[in-house]
């Protein structure tokens, strides 16, 4: 019987790992649909960003209470995986608490630490569910999250509560079997929380207790493998992508706009015609971005790293004043478009024009025009995402490729082109205002 269960477990584990790997590779392909960009300079600073922003969650601590609660969930997810390692090895080799004979007293300390984290995760998940569904904080009830995104967040929190409860129940049944002297269950000593629950099982037979313990064990590990394969479809993919996103953060000043070399060259050639290429094979440059193919791969990594927390939209002055713009929606729409393009490629082996673009079909002109380029969204993001960079590139395409700008902007552009200033004054008349001061 044991060998059959081992085979079932190994098959389940292999299927879960295979499916997860397949989905992650698809997401990687979608990210690299973007244009190349070299972000490998200044490695010491990148290591610092990785440790402070991703691992240390530095920007979360602008709100210390929420940061501590988030840290509990984060630590629970990372550290309790050490316990999952033992479960996986037990499932493969048909053992029970494989590490106990090797670790001795340290094993009890670790399990107790895991249980403290598990209880902390349950408490914090309940608090976060309350914030979303009872207190209904404004950024959690925004129309950006209507439908699947709102449900996704609730499903994850509920799943974490269930997984942690199964872990504690499994340990409680295990401890009850130890107290009854079952030879297959090592006497590890009392667990800090499940040890308090163990007396509740004292009236159960050993067969019933083993059924409870094994059922919790199987559901717990199957739930974790299911959670693993849910991540690629969920906003909680940021659990993994926050690390590469922090490493590949742009190190230039926040809000600094990247000049377009092609435009700089046009101005240079106008001022110095002798520098213009004479071969005649120069390609017409493409200005800005109209679809995900025109964005940088870092923009697409940003989109897949988005936590949908809404801090960017809550800080956005355009959003606050009722404009259509929501930086969170910009990131969600970019990710949705990249995913759709990826599916198109998977079906057709290459991208088949679907008549859609990121601009207009996903993100409207009105949204892009509402942005004040104030950089508040970039500053607010806890994982260093830049909605602003995407907005600027999409807006450049609208103006420079489609000549799509408000009349007021066109008047200003005309003045700059003809008068070298935003105002409708000839350069020769610019200093006339000082004549009366003479």
Q: What are the φ and ψ backbone dihedral angles of 35, each rounded to 5 degrees?
A: -70, 150
Entry pTM: 0.88
438 pLDDT more than 70: no
User: Residue 284 — pLDDT band, cuts 50, 70, 90?
Assistant: low
266 contacts: CB under 8 Å, gap ≥ 6 = none
SS3 call for 191? coil
SS3 call for 296? strand
DSSP output for 306-362: -----HHHHH-HHHHTT-S--HHHHHHHHHHHHHHHHHHHHHHSS----S--HHHHT
Rounded to whole angstroms, what are the CA distances from 241 to 6, 126, 278, 304, 360? 32, 25, 46, 7, 28
Q: How far apart are CA 22 and CA 28, in angstroms?
A: 10
Instruction: Classify domain 261-269+285-427 by CATH number.
Output: 1.10.1060
Q: For residue range 353-368, what is the model confidence (pLDDT) as tens digits?
A: 999 999 989 999 999 9
Q: Residue 283: its pLDDT value, please?
A: 63
What does the block give as tokens for 44? 């010491």
Average pLDDT, integer, range 174-185: 86
384 pLDDT more than 80: yes
Q: How far apart are CA 356 and CA 299, in angstroms?
A: 19
Count of other CB atoms within 10 angstroms of residue 292 = 28
Q: Residue 163: its pLDDT value, please?
A: 92
DSSP output for 359-414: HHHTB-HHHHHH-----HHHHH-TT---HHHHHHHHHHIIIIIT----HHHHHHHH
C-alpha dihedral (384, 387, 392, 395), degrees to nearest 10: 170
Q: Residue 136: its pLDDT value, please?
A: 87
Nearest to 389 by CA among 260, 251, 296: 296
Q: Residue 282: its pLDDT value, please?
A: 58
Q: What percent of the chain has pLDDT over 70?
A: 98
C-alpha dihedral (276, 281, 287, 288), degrees to nearest 10: -120
Q: How far apart are CA 311 and CA 37, in angstroms?
A: 27
Eight-state DSSP code of residue 117: H
274 pLDDT more than 60: yes
Average pLDDT, integer, range 316-328: 94
Q: For residue range 233-264, what is the model confidence (pLDDT) as tens digits?
A: 898 898 889 999 999 998 887 777 888 887 78
Within the chain, how many helices (H) and strands (E) appear? 20, 0
Nearest to 337 by CA among 389, 374, 279, 294: 294
Q: How far apart are CA 210 and CA 204, in angstroms?
A: 10
108 pLDDT more than 60: yes
Q: Mean pLDDT highest for which of 11-15, 136-140, 201-205, 398-402?
A: 11-15
CB contact at 8 A, 16 and 101? no
What does the block give as tokens for 228? 């693993």
Q: How far apart are CA 97 and CA 107, in angstroms?
A: 10
Rounded to whole angstroms, what are the CA distances from 174 to 166, 190, 207, 215? 12, 10, 12, 12
What does the block give as tokens for 81? 């995986």
């Amino acid at each position: 019987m044991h060998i059959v269960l081992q085979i079932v477990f190994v098959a389940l584990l292999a299927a879960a790992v295979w499916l997860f790997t397949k989905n992650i590779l698809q997401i990687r392909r979608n990210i690299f649909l973007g244009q190349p960009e070299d972000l490998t300079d200044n490695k010491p600073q990148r290591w610092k960003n990785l440790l402070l922003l991703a691992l240390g969650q530095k920007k979360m601590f602008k709100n210390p209470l929420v940061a501590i609660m988030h840290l509990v969930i984060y630590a629970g997810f990372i550290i309790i995986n050490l316990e999952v390692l033992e479960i996986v090895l037990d499932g493969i080799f048909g053992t029970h608490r494989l590490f106990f004979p090797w670790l001795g007293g340290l094993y009890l300390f670790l399990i107790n630490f895991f249980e403290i984290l598990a209880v902390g995760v349950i408490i914090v998940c309940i608090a976060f569910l309350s914030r979303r569904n009872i207190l209904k904080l404004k950024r959690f009830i925004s129309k950006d999250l209507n439908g699947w995104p709102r449900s996704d967040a609730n499903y994850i929190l509920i799943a974490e509560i269930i997984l942690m409860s199964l872990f504690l129940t499994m340990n409680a049944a295990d401890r009850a079997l130890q107290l009854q002297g079952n030879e297959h269950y090592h006497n590890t000593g009392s667990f800090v929380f499940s040890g308090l629950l163990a007396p509740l099982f004292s009236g159960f037979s050993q067969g019933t207790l083993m059924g409870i313990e094994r059922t919790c064990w199987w559901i717990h590990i199957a739930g974790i493998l299911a959670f693993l394969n849910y991540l690629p479809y969920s906003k909680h993919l940021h659990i993994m992508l926050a690390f590469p996103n922090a490493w590949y953060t742009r190190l230039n000043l926040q809000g600094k706009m990247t000049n377009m070399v092609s435009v700089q060259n046009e101005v240079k050639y106008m001022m110095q015609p002798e520098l213009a290429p004479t071969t005649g094979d120069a390609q017409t440059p493409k200005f800005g971005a109209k679809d995900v193919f025109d964005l940088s791969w870092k923009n697409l990594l940003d989109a897949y790293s988005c936590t949908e927390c809404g801090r960017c939209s809550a800080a956005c002055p355009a959003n606050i004043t009722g404009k259509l713009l929501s930086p969170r929606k910009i990131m969600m729409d970019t990710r949705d478009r990249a995913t759709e393009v990826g599916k198109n490629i998977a079906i057709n082996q290459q991208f088949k024009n679907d008549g859609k673009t990121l601009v207009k079909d996903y993100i409207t002109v009105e949204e892009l025009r509402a942005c004040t380029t104030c950089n508040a969204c970039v500053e607010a993001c806890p994982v260093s995402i830049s909605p602003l960079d995407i907005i600027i590139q999409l807006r450049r395409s609208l103006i420079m490729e489609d000549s799509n700008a408000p009349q007021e902007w066109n008047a200003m552009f005309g003045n700059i082109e003809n008068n070298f200033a935003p105002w409708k004054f000839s350069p020769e008349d610019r200093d006339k205002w000082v004549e009366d001061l003479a």
